[in-house]
A and B are shown apart, each in its own frame.
Chain A
Amino acid sequence: QVQLQQWGAGLLKPSETLSLTCAVYGGSFTNYYWSWLRQPPGKGLEWIGEINHSGSTNYNPSLKSRVTISLDTSKNQFSLKLSSVTAADTAVYYCARGFSHWGQGTLVTVSS
């Protein structure tokens, strides 16, 4: 049974870089896209981007200039970096395998 466990800093100051990592347990890394999404408090879902097992990425154009998604197949982990954060980036961030298996979510708050 596939499980995703994510972690990272929950409180950032404006202009800092958000960094989150997601570990995949119980499943293969190949043949899937590994996604990051976010949900501002009380609001809907936003797709940030995805990466496949060979490292090919797709990003949301609204965030593309600030986003990097990478993977470490030796550790079955993939990561999200979002640079130059502002208060508008405050959200619960989720990692997911496609859209079928999700991490527990990490609340990231950006505040001075």
Chain B
Amino acid sequence: DIVMTQTPLSSPVTLGQPASISCRSSESLVHSDGNTYLSWLQQRPGQPPRLLIYKISTRFSGVPDRFSGSGAGTDFTLKISRVEAEDVGVYYCMQATQFPRTFGQGTKVEIK
């Protein structure tokens, strides 16, 4: 299985300030079709996960542009340009390049 490792596991952030989460995979996530199936999901307290970004950097419908994704191969980053109160929750990276699909441990974003 591909192991997804996120850092940090907790990120206290001041409102209006940026936040960044890293995700590293144990193997390259480049698929044989040339795509890299790395996604980011947000899970607010008590809610199901919500897809934010797929294929490294494509924002899903309705996702604010303060969220951005970058990276390649085995190293990926999610950035929030200016954290808002509604961004509080746990963020997961996820790979869908290989079976089984696997997730990072999650990074808890909270307001200082």
Q: A and B, one complex?
A: yes
Task: Give A residues with C-beta under 8 Å from B.
Answer: 44-47, 58-62, 94, 99-100, 102-105
Number of interface residues, chain B, beta carbon within 8 A: 19
Decide if A99 touches B48 in the complex (CB within 8 Å): no
Task: Give B residues with C-beta under 8 Å from A.
Answer: 39, 41, 48-51, 54, 60, 92, 94, 96, 99-106
Decide if B92 touches A45 in the complex (CB within 8 Å): yes
Question: Of B60, B99, B101, B103, which one neighbours A44 at CB under 8 angstroms?
Answer: B103
Question: Of B94, B100, B105, B106, which one neighbours A61 at CB under 8 angstroms?
Answer: B100
Bound complex: CA A104 to CA B48 (Å):
6
Bound complex: CA A59 to CA B105 (Å):
20
Bound complex: CA A104 to CA B50 (Å):
11
Given A44-B105, A99-B39, A100-B60; A58-B51 close (CB under 8 Å): no
Instruction: Name the 9 nearest CB pairs between A and B, nearest first.
Output: A102-B48, A47-B101, A60-B100, A45-B103, A100-B51, A44-B106, A105-B48, A99-B51, A58-B99
B44 to nearest A CB, angstroms? 12
For residue B101, which residues in chain A have a CB less than 8 angstroms away from its CB?
47
For residue B49, which residues in chain A have a CB less than 8 angstroms away from its CB?
45, 94, 99, 102
CB-nearest residue of chain A to B94: A99
The contact sample of 16 A-B pairs, CB cut-off 8 A, is A44-B104, A44-B105, A44-B106, A45-B94, A47-B100, A47-B101, A47-B103, A58-B99, A58-B100, A61-B100, A62-B100, A94-B49, A99-B39, A99-B49, A99-B51, A99-B54
B41 to nearest A CB, angstroms? 7
